[in-house]
Structure 1
Amino acid sequence: MPIIITIVLLSILKYFEIGPFANMSWWWVGGLTVFAFIWFEFVEPIFGWDKRKAHKEMENIRDERVKKTFDTSKNKAKRR
């Protein structure tokens, strides 16, 4: 995500010719965009970094659901 923010920020600074970015070449923005594309389309899937994050989130949701279920059942048993 930081690389996407950097691309957007560089594009804005270059477009409005702010500071030293006025003289910067558009190739820097284009090169960074190509790098981000290659990273997100090829590198992350090869190493499984995209799936690992999704699996971790699903595991956390499952753990919270199980914890909530068992905490609720314990509270009901104490009331009886």
Structure 2
Amino acid sequence: MILIIPLVLFLILKLAGIWVFAEASWWWLVGGAVFAFVWFEFLERLFGLDAKKQDLHYDAIRKERVKRAFNQKNERKR
């Protein structure tokens, strides 16, 4: 996402003709888009960042489930 937002902003500024972005080459936008594609399709998997995000997601779900289970158990004892 950190790569996509600047690309979209660059595209908007280029199309609107604002400041130096109006005179910037289209190759900057194309190059950034190609880099973002390569990053998300290949490098992220290579470095294991996609699995890390998935692990963090499932870990948060597990912690919430455990928290709910202990809260229910404590409420029954009262």
TM-score range, shorter chain: over 0.9
* Residue of structure 2 equivalent to 1:53: 53
Range that drifts further, 69-78 or 34-43: 69-78
Q: 1:44-67 CA deviation, whole Å, 9 max, x = no partner? A: 001110111111111111111111
Q: 1:25-74 CA deviation, whole Å, 9 max, x = no partner? A: 00000000000000000000011101111111111111111111111111
* Residue of structure 2 equivalent to 1:2: 2
Give the length in aligned residue pairs: 78
Runs of 4+ with >4 A deviation: none
* Residue of structure 2 equivalent to 1:23: 23
Query: What's the % identity of the aligned pairs?
Result: 46
Q: 1:2 aligns to what SS in structure 2?
A: coil
- Following the alignment from structure 1 to structure 2, what is the Cα–Cα distance between the partners of residues 2 and 70? 37
Is it true that 1:71 corresponds to 2:36 in the alignment?
no
TM-score scaled by structure 2? Answer: 0.94
- Following the alignment from structure 1 to structure 2, what is the Cα–Cα distance between the partners of residues 54 and 2? 18
* Residue of structure 2 equivalent to 1:13: 13
TM-score scaled by structure 1? Answer: 0.91
* Rg (Cα) greater in structure: 1
Unaligned runs of 5+ in 1: none
Q: 2:17 aligns to what SS in structure 1?
A: coil
